[in-house]
């Protein structure tokens, strides 16, 4: 797994169920709330320092996601996406990367097609069974509770090991 992970230059994440625990919280005023794990954020910053581009490709759109990704310096944020493969392929073209140089992290059926396209398909621990079966690697942490950090740590460690 580490040699394959060492080739990754882009990692794209779904949001709901990956960066969050998948629950949708709405206030009486209609505002949507999401909970992000601070250690996941630190992992995203480590990715960028290691030369790995983080991105978000989400089927839902949320101001909370926009704000959090801005805080983390994630430049490639795509929300309200119905065709994740098309967005993923466009991002690969923009960055001049081959699919083998990209990973995708998902948790549910809408992520399966883009996971199949990515060079490294990753599922969070509590992902739907179909997604775990399709994954090359599965985190031990569930979505929203450190899974993103686990992915970041794997990719950074693989990149550092390849350099030595």
* Domains (range + CATH), the chain: 2-163 (3.40.50.1000)
Quote the CA–CA distance of 49 and 83 in Å, as a whole number: 29
pLDDT, tens only, 80-137? 999 999 999 999 999 999 999 999 999 999 999 999 999 999 999 999 999 999 999 9
Mean pLDDT value of segment 134-157: 97
Residue 57 · residue 16 · CB < 8 Å: no
* pLDDT-derived band at 161, boundaries 50, 70, 90: confident
Report the alpha-carbon angle 108-111-112, nearest 5: 95
pLDDT at 141 exceeding the cut of 90: yes
């Amino acid at each position: 797994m580490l040699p394959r992970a060492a080739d990754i230059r882009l990692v794209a994440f779904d949001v709901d169920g990956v960066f969050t625990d998948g629950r949708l919280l709405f206030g009486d005023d209609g505002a949507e709330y999401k909970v992000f794990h601070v250690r996941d954020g630190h992992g995203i910053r480590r990715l960028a320092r290691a030369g790995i581009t983080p991105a978000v490709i989400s089927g839902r759109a949320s101001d909370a996601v926009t704000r959090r990704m801005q805080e983390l310096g994630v430049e490639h944020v795509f929300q309200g996406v119905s065709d994740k493969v098309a967005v993923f392929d466009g991002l690969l073209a923009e960055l001049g990367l081959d699919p083998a140089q990209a990973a995708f992290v998902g948790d549910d059926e809408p992520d399966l097609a883009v996971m199949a396209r990515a060079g490294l398909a990753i599922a969070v621990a509590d992902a739907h069974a179909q997604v775990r079966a399709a994954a090359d690697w599965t985190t031990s942490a569930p979505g929203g509770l450190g899974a993103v950090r686990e992915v970041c740590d794997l990719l950074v460690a693989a990149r550092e090991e390849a350099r030595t």
